[in-house]
Structure 1
Amino acid sequence: MRYLPYWCAYLPQGIVTGLMFQGVAGYFRHAGLDLAQLSWLPFTMLPWVAKFLWAPWCERHTLPLCGNRYLGSLALVQLMMAALLVCIGFVSPLHAVGSVMLALILLATLSASHDVYADGFAICSTDARSRPFANAAQVGGSYLGLVLGSFVFLTLAQHASWRSGFFGMALLTLVLLLPVLARAPLTPPNPARQRPRLELGSVRALWPALTLTAIFYIAIRGLMVLQTVMLVDQGLSLSALGEATTLYGTLGSGAGIMLGGQLARRLGGLRCLLPVMLLHAALAALAALGYPYFGLWAWLVVFGLVNVAAAIGFVVLYNALMGLVRPHQPAADYALFQSADAIVAMSVSVVALRLAHHTGYRPVLMTLALVALASLVPARGLCRRLARSAQAAQAAQAAQAAQAVALRPPASSESEVIHG
């Protein structure tokens, strides 16, 4: 129950992502849109690419609530997300595709801002010991939200209507706010005097972590964006596709979250990044080599493994990144990492769908596998550099603590002064 607020804080963002990449994509694909048309859908995530631009402003102007300096802002944005979901339900999906896209971009803007507050909510209320559990809740909440935004939405859309699907998502978004308000953890006041700002120095200071974030998910991002359309092309109905994504988002991601949490606690985030990247490359190679021979059931198994590997990667990477933020602007730095991830996710999604439309799936799968293998070389050097930086930071903190103890007057001297 201690980590329930973290789960519920990240669920709404998963709902939005599930709607865009699986729910709405599956609905439009089933309605007859081709891959070239669907390749524009990832552009609705542009706000996630650019959220680092306004994240420092968000962190400077947070609305505290119930002893948590991020909670008031988080709650306000979540209410706005629910209201917008209701409005999208009134838009005709196939006769106003452009309007739907614009509404989804606005929804993604709110979701990205919500994530800034949720990240500050999580980072500032945990320490190194409890952070892997919060990371598991972060990833688990996002994955469970993907299930709600895909399976629940697609089921409601198929058996009721487009409008019912979005109304259901709005109701879930409101309900998820209640546990966060009821059990929000306290956060200490910001100890740093420096105010959060967007500056070029942030990029220079954090470039190794930013580069590692950018190359970590290339293979898995491509496989996950192809997942929905490949399964639809295998003949799955909307409800069957929703059931498959439910299993991926519950059993698959649950197993991945548990394994990723264990790796993060036992080895630390940086030490297990390379093995996870190798796993991602192996799965991309399996998909590429098996494409001509795999049937529907084989692809269901492959994409199940992809979801397990993706959840492992999310936990270990974001556990490592939470330890690399600066004290005076943790949410803004974390937003910068996520923007780098979003740039890659959007770019890989657009390119993969476009190439698949023109060349078929197998060349795309082969390209993903080769890029993933090539990324292991720079990733190794980046992990070593970040490990050295972390050790140097820990040594500096230990030296400062030792100096503070050395400058403190002994207890006997204090007693003599007092009695004198």
Structure 2
Amino acid sequence: MNHIINKEGRGGIGLTMFFCLYIAQSIPSSFFATALQVMMREAHYSLATIGLLQLVKLPWVLKFLWSPVVDRHCLTGRDFRRCIIGSECVYALFIVLAGLLDVNNNLYLIIALVCLSLVASATQDIATDALAILMHGGKDKSMVNSMQSMGSFGGALIGSGLLLLILHAFGWRSVTLCLGAFVLLMLVPLIMRREPEIVAKTTKERAKWSDFASFFAQRGIWRQIGFLLLYYASIIGILSMMRPWLVDLGYTMKEIGVMSGMVGTSAAFCASFGAGFLVRRIGVHASRVLFALFIVLTTLYFLAMSYVSQPSAWLLYFGIVLMWSSYGMATIVVYTSAMECVRKGREGTDFTIQTVLTHLSGILIASLSGGVADHFGYHGLFFTECVIAVVSLLYILVFFRK
């Protein structure tokens, strides 16, 4: 891809800018997903109604539908800057409006506003991903993907952990108003950069609605699609059943929150940062194989631990760190390889299609894992995930030999 790489985009304010934009997406969405569930349960809503909260995530699953619009209208660095700032301001506005309402009397309206805020956040994400691709070429892609993963994991750690404690201390309105201000504050590095330097796209390269179908018609693209669907499917399968397994082992919700929510997410945050440097140094192909081996070893560790009647806390902590570290490293390879499979002028559309595929694969695997664990126990679940991890490794060795 023959794009001009902004020298600042290699580090410093360039990476800081993308980290701020990604963490601005993650913290509010993690907070709302967790806080609304807690508040609805405290208000004695049924579990079926609480389960419908998952629908607020639909904008992030369906964002590929309007990604060509973003690609079509963002032709220069100034266009991207305007789109990101505008989307972020709308995002902050809906967060503030949700915060001004009383939770007990306007819960469904708050959920609607949260859903609209995530539409704006998803739009910002499409533009940010496309800008990251256009500003970073070659080995630099892995570093900007580190910022994306670190923003995601860091946001989950703060949004679903720290902010819940602050919520009980200061209340709904104070926390949400501060979140709105935080989202706007994260625009400062982008505003300081007057115009990101990229190669302006021509009118011949503008995205069309038919690009959805043409993406899948590309020669050799199904090799990448298979990789996206398989690579961390085994990790998602175990992560989805991690909390129920810990409950069955006798751990309390508070202990599980520390083990998985804080220690695990922190491990993923650190692993994503280190993986960015490693991918930059050894390349995407070698990293695919290396991290796939790490995932196989991780699933084998959990399979072995499932035969221990009562694993010690240290064994569990070690396994959780392994699991989340594998997940953090895998995301860097997935995102970097996805950036290498985008077409000129359709960067946002093609990257969004690939990330949505990984989301859908994760939802499917998480749904099936519950059934496998229910019928075959945790031994059967961990064995199944081991098989998937080995198949993923063999897939890479066979289809990515060159």
TM-score by length of 1: 0.77
For 1:257 and 1:46, how far apart are their aligned partners in 2? 26
Change (3 A) 1:120 1:248: same
Matched, 1:11 2:9: no
**Does 1:79 pair with 2:82?**
no
Q: Any conservation in 2 of the 1:52–1:336 contact (CA below 8 Å)? A: yes
> Contact (CA 8 Å) 1:140, 1:254: kept in 2 or not?
yes
Give the aligned partner of residue 297 of structure 2.
282
Cα distance, 1:47–1:178 mapped onto 2, change above 3 Å:
same
Where do 5+ consecutive residues of structure 1 fail to align?
A: 388-420
User: Quick one: distance in 1 between partners of 2:327 and 2:237?
Assistant: 11
Residue matched to 1:124: 134
TM-score, normalisation: structure 2: 0.80
Deviations 1:55-102 (A, max 9, x none): 0111112386xx433111111111122222233345666887766655
Quote the Cα distance in structure 2 between the aligned partners of 1:34 and 1:204. 45
Picking from 334, 341, 346, the partner of 1:324 is 341
Give secondary structure in 1 for the equivalent of 2:135: coil
8 Å contact from structure 2 (residues 259, 320) kept in 1: no
What's 2:318 paired with?
301
Distance in 2 separating the partners of 1:37 and 1:358? 26
Q: Does 1:311 align with 2:328?
A: yes
From 263, 274, 294, the equivalent of 2:278 is 263
**Structure 1 residue 213: Cα displacement:** 1.1
Equivalence for 1:218:
233
Q: What amino acid is the match of 1:241?
A: G
Aligned to 1:198: 209
Q: Comparing 220-229 with 312-321, which one deviates more in the overlay?
A: 220-229
Q: Number of paired residues?
A: 381
Structure 2 CA distance, aligned partners of 1:281 and 1:26?
35
Q: What is the alpha-carbon distance in structure 1 between the residues aligned to residue 39 and residue 375 of structure 2?
A: 22
- The answer to whether the aligner puts 1:241 opposite 2:245 as a matched pair is no
Which amino acid in structure 1 is aligned with residue 16 of structure 2?
L
1:185 alignment counterpart? 196
**Preserved contact between residue 154 and residue 165 of structure 1 (Cα < 8 Å):** no
| Cα distance change, pair 170–280 in 1 and its aligned pair in 2 (3 A) | farther
What whole-Å deviation, never above 9, does each CA across 1:378-417 have from its counterpart, x for those lacking one? 3433323xx4xxxxxxxxxxxxxxxxxxxxxxxxxxxxxx
Whether the aligned pair in 1 keeps the contact of 2:143 and 2:277 (CA below 8 Å) is no
1:22 shift after superposition: 5.3
Alpha-carbon separation, structure 2, partners of 1:128 and 1:218: 27
Report matched runs for 1:10-49 at 5 Å. 10-19=22-31, 24=36, 40-49=52-61
Q: Deviations over 1:196-226 (max 9, x none)?
A: 1232121121332222112112122233344
Q: Which amino acid aligns with 1:308?
A: S
Q: Distance in 1 between matches of 2:371 and 2:97?
A: 30
1:51 is displaced (CA, Å) by: 1.7
1:117 Cα deviation after fit: 0.5
Match of 2:354 in 1: 337
Return 349-358 or 163-172, whichever deviates more: 349-358
Letter in 2 for 1:10: Y
Contact (CA 8 Å) 2:20, 2:186: kept in 1 or not? yes
Cα RMSD (Å): 3.5
Cα deviation per residue 1:83-133 (whole Å; 9 max; x = unaligned)? 222333456668877666554443333222211001112111112142222
The share of aligned pairs that are identical, in percent, is 20
Distance 1:262 1:139 in 2: 13
Q: Distance in 2 between matches of 1:91 and 1:223?
A: 38
Aligned to 2:64: 52
SS at match of 1:189: coil
Range with greater deviation from structure 2 (197-206 or 158-167) = 158-167
The unaligned stretches of length 5 or more in structure 2 are: 1-11
Q: Distance in 2 between matches of 1:130 and 1:21?
A: 33
Secondary structure at 1:124 match in 2: helix
